[in-house]
Amino acid sequence: MKFFIAHLATETNTFAAAPTGWGAFEEVGIFHGDASVREPEGAGAFLHFLRGLIEADGNEVVESLCTLAQPAGRTVRAVYEALRDEILADLRAALPVDAVQLLLHGAMAADGYDDCEGDLAARIRALVGPDVPIGLELDLHCHFTELMQRSADVIVAFKEYPHIDTDERGRELYRLLVATAAGRVKPVTAVFDCKMAGLWHTTREPMQGFVRRMQAAEREPGVLSVSLGHGFPWGDVPQAGAKLWVVSDNDPALARAVADRLGAEFWALRERIGAQPIGIDEALDGTWAGQGPVVLADIADNPGGGAAGDSTFILRRLVERGIGDVALGALWDPGAIHICKSAGVGAQLALRIGGKCGPASGQPVDLRVSVRAIVENHSQRALGTRERLGDCVWVEAANGLHILLASIRTQTYGADAFTGAGITLADKSFVVVKSTQHFHAEFAPLARKVLYVSTPGAMNFDFAAIPYALRSPDYWPRVAAPHGAGI
């Protein structure tokens, strides 16, 4: 059996001013059929895993493009079309194939394309014909669309946020594609539109329990897979929003019944599952029992959601209040890094930090700092892979305020973003991370308390007030009862 595999992903914040261009993909890496070999612990980690899975079964692998970019605005049209067309050209050269398995995001939009994943899947279907199974693995912050559903045989989304189950879902999808290609199953899908916008962490109840109920439903006879696409709230596209879908073995009625049941259960949890952010001063004023630092998530300035990663709202308040023994990062500021690298380790200088990218970044903060370390080509653990931070600098200001500056815009995933640069964490009163939730996997075990802090950043957590133009305004929490009286 011959499998064609590829990985193309970015999450589009349609409200972000900066487009996603070639530089955003090149920063992570663009690999032309060799990512699984050249970057097996980095960008190519999933394709390396998938290749091993397929070849262990004695099957053949044709590996195509692998690239991803940090979330930002819409991808430049020519960039998306070039990446898409490379995958299509590779597939055309590989034909005939027995199955196609892709790791995509599900919330990628480009100039002229509201649904890049659906567009790609439809073009693949046109190439391989109706009988070759196509499988898509999506980030749970995807927009599940009708074009995706029509074009693919099986679509599976991550269940966990943080996304710690990428490989697990890839294995699930691979097994379903093998069974489909062999004629042992015939996948059919039913979708429940939850008509909700929000951000829901699976690290706490009741979302933990809901994930377990989805997994339990997958053990019911005839049910092949259950996914909940949370949607990406900052993606204004026509089919945005949370959707739950069920894949059954040639039983549309079963798929519909299970999707409706679980969709209604998820809807019933809506008032209890949202994040509860607090203000900066409330976080700094609190008395939190336990060992280790209090971890503050700067949720509105998460580069993983399209923000710049250089906002100064929390940093400024720490300075104004004279709070010390703090680690903060990774703050994106290539200019400050250039100055510090020129000055060298041990230098003391006046440094203007952050606040470079517009109103959502706040005003720059001027500090007297010591350059404590310069780390070239730094990286961090990131949910089982390595994520590049570029050249990084650790600077220390008064009162033991330790700031990690990064030259590549990315969210803080791993504790080694700090410790790899020499910044200790256990002795800090606060650790401030530029992330919304993916930090949780590594930082929660170190923390006395994890707090989600609201700032005037680029990501608006008032979901009822996001100024959508393309998606329907008929969603909760903007509308109390978007389903009417029928749910």
Place of tokens 């990512």: 35
List the alpha helices (DSSP H) in 290-391.
313-321, 334-343
List the alpha helices (DSSP H) in 322-466.
334-343, 416-419, 440-443
CB-based contact 306:458 (threshold 8 Å): yes
CB neighbour list of residue 277: distance below 8 Å, 6 or more residues apart: 299, 452, 453, 454, 461
Q: What is the pLDDT of residues 12-61, one digit of tens each?
A: 999 998 899 999 999 999 999 999 999 999 999 999 999 999 999 999 99
| Domains delineated in the chain | 2-268 (3.40.50.2300), 280-460 (no CATH)
| 3-class secondary structure, 194 | coil
What strands lie across the sheet with 294-298, from one edge to the other? 348-353, 365-382, 385-397, 401-406, 326-332, 430-433, 294-298, 449-453
Report in angstroms the alpha-carbon separations of 362 from 101, 113, 300: 43, 32, 12
Q: On the CB side of 79, how many CA atoms lie within 13 Å of its CA?
A: 23
At 119 the pLDDT is: 98
CB-based contact 223:187 (threshold 8 Å): no
In terms of Cα–Cα distance, which of 168, 170, 171 is closest to 103?
170
pTM higher than 0.75 for the full model?
Answer: yes
At 276 the pLDDT is: 85
- Cite the beta strand spans of 266-319 per DSSP E: 294-298
Separation of alpha carbons 5 and 99, rounded Å: 9
In terms of Cα–Cα distance, which of 244, 306, 316 is closest to 284?
316
At 349 the pLDDT is: 98
Report in angstroms the alpha-carbon separations of 468 from 14, 239, 275, 478, 480: 10, 12, 21, 11, 17
Report in angstroms the alpha-carbon separations of 196 from 115, 116, 234, 367: 19, 22, 13, 43
- Cite the beta strand spans of 147-236 per DSSP E: 154-157, 187-193, 223-229
In tens digits, the chain (487 residues) has pLDDT values of 999 999 999 999 999 988 999 999 999 999 999 999 999 999 999 999 999 999 999 999 999 999 999 999 999 999 999 999 999 999 999 999 999 999 999 999 999 999 999 999 999 999 999 999 999 999 999 999 999 999 999 999 999 999 999 999 999 999 999 999 999 999 999 999 999 999 999 999 999 999 999 999 999 999 999 999 999 999 999 999 999 999 999 999 999 999 999 999 999 999 999 988 999 999 999 888 888 999 999 999 999 999 999 999 999 999 999 999 999 999 999 999 999 999 999 999 999 999 999 899 999 999 999 999 999 999 999 999 999 999 999 999 999 999 999 999 999 999 999 999 999 999 999 999 999 999 999 999 999 999 999 999 889 899 999 999 999 999 999 999 999 877 7
What strands lie across the sheet with 154-157, from one edge to the other? 30-32, 60-68, 2-9, 99-103, 134-138, 154-157
CB-based contact 289:426 (threshold 8 Å): no
- Cite the beta strand spans of 407-480 per DSSP E: 430-433, 449-453
Separation of alpha carbons 276 and 272, rounded Å: 10
Separation of alpha carbons 135 and 133, rounded Å: 7
At 344 the pLDDT is: 98
In our burial notation (b when 16+ CB lie closer than 10 A, e otherwise), range 422-452 reads: ebebeebebbbbbbbbbbbbbbeebbebbbb
| Total count of residues recorded for the chain | 487
At 440 the pLDDT is: 96
